Amino acid sequence: MQSYDRIVREITGRIAMTQPECEIIEEIAGQVSTWVEIGCLWGGSAILAAMANPDLRICTVDPFDKYYDDDLCVETVLENFVRFGVAHRISIVKAKSHPWPFPASVRFDAALIDGSHTVQDVKADWENVWASTDRFVLFHDYDDPPIQDFIETSVKLKPYRTSKRMVAFELRN
């Protein structure tokens, strides 16, 4: 995983995923042309997805309200995107994910849910991406018992890929 190792070394901030989660992202990113990511942090997973597929177009959704880290800001994320040569393929939507910041006509091939880690917010994110995503939905923080319980009781699909901290579902073939 050369991309993962490079991101770990060169990103300002950190990539908030381990190699097994990144392998799932790379695999799925290679199969799709549009991607939405709820929760951007420093942009590591969006960068990874973009590096996995040179034709992939990505939207990240994050309010950048300094909830997670006082040093986190849009400018740093944009600098990371530029550093890795993917800024022209990633759009930042500076907003909360609920209400959904896209019109109903906007569709994505894949969605990564990794924003707020409350069950209420994950549920709202699931409902939003279910209505606007055509092929894959990935949930990060699958190792958090309340999140795992919600996913296992509410997402009525067989997992496509899993790791300790991530589960991915294929919605429609």
For the chain, give every domain's residue range.
2-170
Kindly give the confidence (pLDDT) of every residue in the chain, 173 residues in length, as a single tens digit, with 9 standing for 90 and above.
789 999 999 999 899 899 999 999 999 999 999 999 999 999 999 999 999 999 999 999 999 886 555 667 899 999 999 999 999 999 999 999 999 999 999 999 999 999 988 999 999 999 999 999 999 999 999 999 999 999 999 999 999 999 999 999 999 75
pLDDT at 65: 80
- Each residue's pLDDT tens digit, 29-58: 999 999 999 999 999 999 999 999 999 999
User: pTM for the complete prediction?
Assistant: 0.95
- Could you tell me the fold of the domain covering 2-170? Rossmann fold (3.40.50)
For residues 136 and 134, give the distance between their C-alpha atoms in angstroms, rounded to a whole number. Answer: 7
Q: Are 52 and 89 in contact (CB under 8 A)?
A: no
Q: For residue 67, what pLDDT is reported?
A: 59
Question: What was the pLDDT predicted at 1?
Answer: 73
Other Cβ atoms closer than 10 A to 171: 17
77-to-42, 72, 143, 150 alpha-carbon distances in Å: 5, 8, 26, 30
